[in-house]
Structure 1
Amino acid sequence: MKSDFLLKNGKFSQYSGFTLIELVIVIMIIGILSVTVIPKIFTSGGYEEIGYQAETVAKLRAIQLRAMQDTSAIQCLLVYVTEKKLGIPDSNCSPPSFLSNTEPSSTIVKISEQSLSFDDQNGGYSFSFDQMGRPDQARTISIEGGEQTLIITINAEGYISAN
Protein backbone atom coordinates (compact mmCIF):
# COMPACT_ATOMS: atom_id res chain seq x y z
CA MET A 1 0.00 0.00 0.00
CA LYS A 2 1.38 3.43 -0.99
CA SER A 3 0.05 5.34 2.04
CA ASP A 4 2.12 3.30 4.48
CA PHE A 5 5.57 4.87 3.98
CA LEU A 6 7.18 3.38 7.10
CA LEU A 7 6.86 -0.22 6.04
CA LYS A 8 7.34 -1.47 2.53
CA ASN A 9 7.03 -5.20 2.09
CA GLY A 10 7.64 -5.79 5.81
CA LYS A 11 10.89 -3.74 5.82
CA PHE A 12 11.60 -0.14 6.86
CA SER A 13 11.29 2.37 4.09
CA GLN A 14 14.22 4.44 2.93
CA TYR A 15 12.35 7.56 4.08
CA SER A 16 12.24 6.77 7.78
CA GLY A 17 14.68 8.36 10.28
CA PHE A 18 16.85 11.48 10.35
CA THR A 19 19.84 12.34 8.23
CA LEU A 20 23.22 12.87 9.82
CA ILE A 21 23.03 16.63 9.17
CA GLU A 22 19.69 16.91 10.97
CA LEU A 23 21.05 15.05 13.98
CA VAL A 24 24.17 17.25 14.15
CA ILE A 25 22.07 20.44 13.93
CA VAL A 26 19.72 19.27 16.70
CA ILE A 27 22.68 18.38 18.94
CA MET A 28 24.23 21.82 18.29
CA ILE A 29 20.97 23.60 19.17
CA ILE A 30 20.63 21.59 22.38
CA GLY A 31 24.25 22.42 23.25
CA ILE A 32 23.71 26.15 22.71
CA LEU A 33 20.56 26.11 24.83
CA SER A 34 22.27 24.21 27.62
CA VAL A 35 25.08 26.77 27.79
CA THR A 36 23.03 29.97 27.54
CA VAL A 37 19.39 29.54 28.49
CA ILE A 38 19.23 26.67 30.96
CA PRO A 39 21.44 28.31 33.68
CA LYS A 40 19.17 31.39 33.68
CA ILE A 41 16.10 29.24 34.26
CA PHE A 42 17.39 27.76 37.50
CA THR A 43 18.58 31.03 39.06
CA SER A 44 17.01 34.45 39.44
CA GLY A 45 20.38 36.16 39.77
CA GLY A 46 20.88 39.23 37.64
CA TYR A 47 17.22 40.01 37.11
CA GLU A 48 16.89 42.18 40.22
CA GLU A 49 19.63 44.48 38.95
CA ILE A 50 17.90 44.87 35.59
CA GLY A 51 14.59 45.65 37.27
CA TYR A 52 16.11 48.28 39.55
CA GLN A 53 18.01 49.77 36.61
CA ALA A 54 14.82 50.19 34.58
CA GLU A 55 12.98 51.67 37.58
CA THR A 56 15.85 54.07 38.31
CA VAL A 57 16.03 55.31 34.71
CA ALA A 58 12.26 55.87 34.64
CA LYS A 59 12.25 57.79 37.93
CA LEU A 60 15.30 59.87 36.98
CA ARG A 61 13.53 60.86 33.76
CA ALA A 62 10.42 61.79 35.77
CA ILE A 63 12.53 63.94 38.12
CA GLN A 64 14.21 65.53 35.09
CA LEU A 65 10.83 66.36 33.54
CA ARG A 66 9.61 67.80 36.84
CA ALA A 67 12.70 70.04 36.97
CA MET A 68 12.10 71.18 33.39
CA GLN A 69 8.47 72.09 34.15
CA ASP A 70 9.24 73.91 37.40
CA THR A 71 9.27 77.61 36.54
CA SER A 72 9.79 78.95 40.05
CA ALA A 73 12.81 81.13 40.70
CA ILE A 74 13.93 78.99 43.63
CA GLN A 75 14.17 75.46 42.41
CA CYS A 76 15.28 72.74 44.76
CA LEU A 77 14.84 69.36 43.12
CA LEU A 78 17.89 67.69 44.55
CA VAL A 79 18.47 64.04 43.59
CA TYR A 80 20.05 62.29 46.55
CA VAL A 81 21.89 58.96 46.27
CA THR A 82 22.44 56.66 49.24
CA GLU A 83 23.41 53.01 49.35
CA LYS A 84 19.80 51.79 49.25
CA LYS A 85 17.77 54.78 47.94
CA LEU A 86 17.89 57.23 45.07
CA GLY A 87 15.51 60.08 44.38
CA ILE A 88 14.14 63.36 45.69
CA PRO A 89 14.49 63.22 49.49
CA ASP A 90 11.74 64.16 51.89
CA SER A 91 13.73 67.00 53.42
CA ASN A 92 14.91 68.24 50.07
CA CYS A 93 17.12 71.28 50.35
CA SER A 94 18.94 71.19 53.66
CA PRO A 95 20.21 68.64 54.72
CA PRO A 96 18.87 65.98 52.35
CA SER A 97 17.57 62.81 53.98
CA PHE A 98 15.00 60.12 53.34
CA LEU A 99 12.31 59.27 55.85
CA SER A 100 12.16 55.65 56.89
CA ASN A 101 8.69 55.06 55.42
CA THR A 102 8.19 52.21 53.01
CA GLU A 103 5.43 53.70 50.89
CA PRO A 104 5.93 53.59 47.11
CA SER A 105 6.98 56.90 45.59
CA SER A 106 7.07 58.26 42.06
CA THR A 107 10.45 59.88 42.72
CA ILE A 108 12.28 57.45 45.02
CA VAL A 109 13.84 54.10 44.13
CA LYS A 110 14.33 51.90 47.19
CA ILE A 111 16.46 48.76 46.92
CA SER A 112 15.09 46.08 49.22
CA GLU A 113 17.50 43.34 48.12
CA GLN A 114 20.32 43.03 50.67
CA SER A 115 23.02 42.16 48.13
CA LEU A 116 22.40 45.21 45.90
CA SER A 117 23.37 48.85 46.35
CA PHE A 118 23.64 52.17 44.50
CA ASP A 119 27.01 53.83 43.97
CA ASP A 120 27.44 57.35 42.62
CA GLN A 121 30.81 57.05 40.89
CA ASN A 122 31.30 60.81 40.69
CA GLY A 123 31.96 61.04 44.43
CA GLY A 124 29.13 63.40 45.29
CA TYR A 125 25.93 61.88 46.53
CA SER A 126 23.55 64.56 45.36
CA PHE A 127 22.90 66.41 42.13
CA SER A 128 20.15 68.42 40.50
CA PHE A 129 18.74 69.15 37.06
CA ASP A 130 18.38 72.68 35.68
CA GLN A 131 15.35 73.96 33.73
CA MET A 132 16.84 72.59 30.51
CA GLY A 133 17.03 69.08 31.99
CA ARG A 134 20.81 69.11 32.34
CA PRO A 135 22.48 67.81 35.52
CA ASP A 136 24.90 70.03 37.40
CA GLN A 137 27.61 67.68 36.07
CA ALA A 138 27.64 64.43 34.09
CA ARG A 139 26.87 61.48 36.37
CA THR A 140 27.55 57.75 36.43
CA ILE A 141 25.47 55.73 38.88
CA SER A 142 25.95 52.00 39.25
CA ILE A 143 23.77 49.30 40.73
CA GLU A 144 26.20 46.85 42.28
CA GLY A 145 25.95 43.40 43.75
CA GLY A 146 24.51 40.05 42.91
CA GLU A 147 25.80 38.69 39.64
CA GLN A 148 26.43 41.89 37.70
CA THR A 149 27.01 45.62 37.97
CA LEU A 150 24.79 47.82 35.82
CA ILE A 151 25.56 51.42 34.90
CA ILE A 152 23.23 54.39 34.47
CA THR A 153 24.81 57.44 32.84
CA ILE A 154 23.50 60.99 32.69
CA ASN A 155 25.53 62.99 30.20
CA ALA A 156 26.16 66.71 30.45
CA GLU A 157 23.22 67.52 28.15
CA GLY A 158 20.78 65.46 30.23
CA TYR A 159 20.45 62.23 28.25
CA ILE A 160 19.84 59.34 30.67
CA SER A 161 20.91 55.92 29.43
CA ALA A 162 21.20 52.44 30.87
CA ASN A 163 24.31 50.46 29.99
Structure 2
Amino acid sequence: MIKTQRHTGFTLIELIVVLVIIGVLAVSLVPRFFDGSGTNEYLYRDQAFSLVQRRQIQAMQCTNCFPVGVQVDSISINPAGSPGCENTATRLCISNRDRSSVQLSPTAFTVDLYFNNLGQPIGKGGARICQNSCQINVQGSVTLSICIEYEGYIHLC
Protein backbone atom coordinates (compact mmCIF):
# COMPACT_ATOMS: atom_id res chain seq x y z
CA MET A 1 0.00 0.00 0.00
CA ILE A 2 1.44 3.32 -1.06
CA LYS A 3 0.77 6.28 1.14
CA THR A 4 0.73 9.62 -0.55
CA GLN A 5 1.94 12.39 1.61
CA ARG A 6 -0.18 15.51 1.37
CA HIS A 7 1.56 18.81 1.89
CA THR A 8 -0.61 21.46 3.47
CA GLY A 9 0.32 25.07 3.91
CA PHE A 10 0.37 28.38 2.13
CA THR A 11 2.00 29.07 -1.17
CA LEU A 12 4.57 31.81 -1.50
CA ILE A 13 2.14 33.99 -3.46
CA GLU A 14 -0.51 33.76 -0.73
CA LEU A 15 2.02 34.76 1.91
CA ILE A 16 3.21 37.74 -0.14
CA VAL A 17 -0.37 38.95 -0.73
CA VAL A 18 -1.16 38.75 3.00
CA LEU A 19 2.04 40.64 3.88
CA VAL A 20 1.22 43.36 1.34
CA ILE A 21 -2.31 43.76 2.80
CA ILE A 22 -0.94 43.94 6.36
CA GLY A 23 1.65 46.51 5.23
CA VAL A 24 -0.96 48.73 3.58
CA LEU A 25 -3.18 48.61 6.66
CA ALA A 26 -0.24 49.35 8.95
CA VAL A 27 0.82 52.39 6.92
CA SER A 28 -2.70 53.84 6.77
CA LEU A 29 -4.07 53.00 10.24
CA VAL A 30 -1.16 53.08 12.69
CA PRO A 31 -0.64 56.88 12.49
CA ARG A 32 -4.23 57.39 13.64
CA PHE A 33 -3.42 55.79 16.97
CA PHE A 34 -0.52 58.16 17.61
CA ASP A 35 -2.06 61.37 16.25
CA GLY A 36 -5.16 63.01 17.71
CA SER A 37 -6.09 65.02 14.63
CA GLY A 38 -9.72 64.53 13.78
CA THR A 39 -10.62 63.15 17.19
CA ASN A 40 -9.65 66.09 19.40
CA GLU A 41 -12.34 68.23 17.80
CA TYR A 42 -15.04 65.81 18.95
CA LEU A 43 -13.68 65.81 22.49
CA TYR A 44 -13.55 69.62 22.70
CA ARG A 45 -16.98 69.99 21.12
CA ASP A 46 -18.55 67.61 23.64
CA GLN A 47 -16.89 69.41 26.55
CA ALA A 48 -17.94 72.82 25.23
CA PHE A 49 -21.50 71.57 24.70
CA SER A 50 -21.67 70.39 28.32
CA LEU A 51 -20.32 73.68 29.66
CA VAL A 52 -22.76 75.83 27.68
CA GLN A 53 -25.69 73.64 28.74
CA ARG A 54 -24.53 73.82 32.38
CA ARG A 55 -24.43 77.62 32.28
CA GLN A 56 -27.90 77.72 30.70
CA ILE A 57 -29.30 75.47 33.44
CA GLN A 58 -27.67 77.66 36.10
CA ALA A 59 -29.33 80.72 34.57
CA MET A 60 -32.74 79.02 34.62
CA GLN A 61 -32.35 77.93 38.24
CA CYS A 62 -31.39 81.36 39.53
CA THR A 63 -34.36 83.57 38.61
CA ASN A 64 -33.32 86.66 40.64
CA CYS A 65 -29.64 86.66 39.66
CA PHE A 66 -27.67 88.60 37.11
CA PRO A 67 -27.75 86.69 33.79
CA VAL A 68 -25.33 83.78 33.67
CA GLY A 69 -23.25 83.18 30.58
CA VAL A 70 -20.07 82.06 28.89
CA GLN A 71 -17.11 83.85 27.39
CA VAL A 72 -15.73 82.23 24.23
CA ASP A 73 -12.35 83.06 22.74
CA SER A 74 -10.10 81.13 20.38
CA ILE A 75 -8.68 78.79 23.02
CA SER A 76 -11.14 78.70 25.93
CA ILE A 77 -14.71 78.80 27.20
CA ASN A 78 -15.07 80.37 30.63
CA PRO A 79 -17.87 81.67 32.81
CA ALA A 80 -18.68 85.18 31.58
CA GLY A 81 -16.59 87.85 33.25
CA SER A 82 -13.83 85.50 34.43
CA PRO A 83 -11.05 85.19 31.88
CA GLY A 84 -8.40 82.56 32.20
CA CYS A 85 -7.32 79.31 30.70
CA GLU A 86 -7.60 76.21 32.82
CA ASN A 87 -9.53 72.98 32.61
CA THR A 88 -11.99 72.62 35.46
CA ALA A 89 -15.62 71.63 35.83
CA THR A 90 -16.69 75.12 34.75
CA ARG A 91 -13.99 75.98 32.20
CA LEU A 92 -12.57 74.52 29.01
CA CYS A 93 -9.11 75.33 27.70
CA ILE A 94 -7.58 73.95 24.53
CA SER A 95 -4.31 72.33 25.64
CA ASN A 96 -1.02 73.82 24.45
CA ARG A 97 -0.24 70.85 22.21
CA ASP A 98 -3.59 71.20 20.38
CA ARG A 99 -3.64 74.98 19.90
CA SER A 100 -1.99 74.81 16.50
CA SER A 101 -4.64 72.40 15.20
CA VAL A 102 -7.85 73.23 17.14
CA GLN A 103 -9.52 76.59 17.72
CA LEU A 104 -12.88 77.82 19.01
CA SER A 105 -14.83 80.57 17.30
CA PRO A 106 -18.23 82.07 18.09
CA THR A 107 -20.61 82.86 15.24
CA ALA A 108 -23.44 85.44 15.44
CA PHE A 109 -22.24 86.75 18.81
CA THR A 110 -19.03 88.42 19.85
CA VAL A 111 -17.34 86.95 22.92
CA ASP A 112 -19.94 86.87 25.69
CA LEU A 113 -23.13 84.85 25.53
CA TYR A 114 -25.58 85.13 28.43
CA PHE A 115 -28.82 83.32 29.23
CA ASN A 116 -31.92 84.78 30.86
CA ASN A 117 -34.04 82.91 33.41
CA LEU A 118 -35.93 81.20 30.57
CA GLY A 119 -32.70 79.84 29.13
CA GLN A 120 -32.87 82.11 26.09
CA PRO A 121 -29.63 83.60 24.75
CA ILE A 122 -29.15 87.29 25.45
CA GLY A 123 -26.36 89.79 24.99
CA LYS A 124 -24.49 91.63 27.71
CA GLY A 125 -27.12 94.38 27.77
CA GLY A 126 -30.01 91.94 28.15
CA ALA A 127 -31.33 92.08 24.58
CA ARG A 128 -32.28 88.81 22.92
CA ILE A 129 -29.76 87.53 20.37
CA CYS A 130 -29.36 84.51 18.09
CA GLN A 131 -32.25 85.37 15.78
CA ASN A 132 -30.84 82.99 13.16
CA SER A 133 -29.05 80.63 15.55
CA CYS A 134 -25.71 81.30 17.23
CA GLN A 135 -22.88 78.83 16.88
CA ILE A 136 -19.69 77.90 18.64
CA ASN A 137 -17.39 76.27 16.11
CA VAL A 138 -14.59 73.89 16.99
CA GLN A 139 -12.21 74.16 14.05
CA GLY A 140 -9.49 71.67 13.28
CA SER A 141 -9.11 69.06 10.57
CA VAL A 142 -12.91 69.02 10.68
CA THR A 143 -15.24 71.81 11.80
CA LEU A 144 -17.86 70.86 14.37
CA SER A 145 -20.52 73.20 15.67
CA ILE A 146 -22.75 73.75 18.67
CA CYS A 147 -25.96 75.60 17.74
CA ILE A 148 -27.88 77.80 20.16
CA GLU A 149 -31.35 78.63 18.89
CA TYR A 150 -33.32 81.82 19.56
CA GLU A 151 -35.60 80.10 22.10
CA GLY A 152 -32.67 78.51 23.96
CA TYR A 153 -32.46 75.05 22.40
CA ILE A 154 -28.79 73.98 22.39
CA HIS A 155 -27.81 71.14 20.08
CA LEU A 156 -24.95 69.70 18.06
CA CYS A 157 -25.20 70.76 14.43
Shift of the 88–35 alpha-carbon distance from structure 1 to 2, 3 Å rule, reads same
Partner in structure 1 of residue 69 of structure 2: 78
How many aligned residue pairs are there?
137
Report the TM-score when normalising by structure 1. 0.66
Which has the greater radius of gyration? 1
The whole-number CA distance in structure 1 between the counterparts of 2:113 and 2:88 is: 19
Report SS of the residue matched to 2:146.
Answer: strand
**TM-score normalised over the length of structure 2:** 0.68
Corresponding residue for residue 140 of structure 1: 135
Tell me, yes or no, if the aligned pair for 1:84 and 1:118 is still in contact at 8 Å: yes
Q: Show the counterpart of 1:5.
A: none
3-state DSSP of counterpart to 1:151? strand
Counterpart mapping for 1:105-120 below 5 A: 105-112=88-95, 113-115=98-100, 116-120=102-106
Change (3 A) 1:101 1:45: closer
Deviations 1:110-141 (A, max 9, x none): 11222221111214222211212222323111
User: What's the % identity of the aligned pairs?
Assistant: 28
Which SS does the other structure have where 1:65 is aligned? helix
Gaps of 5+ in 1: 1-8, 19-25
Deviation at 1:39, TM superposition (A): 5.2
Q: Which residue of 1 aligns with 2:108?
A: 122
Q: Distance in 2 between matches of 1:157 and 1:12?
A: 77
Partner of 2:154: 160
- Look up the match of 2:45: 53
1:34-80 CA distance string (max 9 Å, x none)? 798555335321122111111101111111110110121x4231321
In the TM superposition, structure 1's runs of 4+ consecutive aligned residues that sit over 3 Å from their partners are 33-39
Q: Residues 101 and 41 (structure 1 numbering): CA distance in 2 closer, same or farther, change over 3 Å?
A: closer
SS at match of 1:49: helix
Q: Amino acid of the residue matched to residue 88 of structure 2?
A: S
CA contact 1:79–1:126 (8 Å) conserved in 2: yes
